[in-house]
Amino acid sequence: MARVLVAEDEEEILVLLETVLDDAGFAVAAAGSVAAALRILDEGGIDCVLTDLGLPGQSGMVLAQAASAAGIPVVVATGSMPESEAFEAAGWQLLRKPFRMHDLVTAIEAALAARPGDAVPVLRDFLESMAER
């Protein structure tokens, strides 16, 4: 069972995402901020990250970059209109809000299917470099 880290600051949406992903057969770890999500990511055992961009404190981009650096696939859910080419170049799935729950599950499955099998986790190095800034 793949474990998905979901970072979303709106509690009602977070609960809905957890329920949908659980029903689809995923184990879910939930976080309401980038800082909390990075702690969970650092513990290991995460197979995919779903993050909102507009999180309190830091942008979900920080989480997405950390996950990518660790070889973990990323799905970015956002209501803003970023250039999808930048997300595709990073290897991230883009899920525009509002989205259907079926599209959420499909995006997570696609991200997991595209996961590089030989990625070397470098999360600790990334977190240390971020701490130095």
3-state secondary structure the chain: CCEEEEECCCHHHHHHHHHHHHHCCCEEEEECCHHHHHHHHHHCCCCEEEEECCCCCCCHHHHHHHHHHCCCCEEEEECCCCCHHHHHHHCCEEEECCCCHHHHHHHHHHHHHCCCCCCCCCHHHHHHHHHHC
Query: Which of 19-23, 66-70, 123-127 bottoms out in mean pLDDT, i.e. has the lowest?
Result: 123-127
pLDDT tens for each residue of 8-34:
999 999 999 999 999 999 999 999 999
* Whole-prediction pTM: 0.83
Least confident of 2-11, 40-49, 95-104, 119-128: 119-128
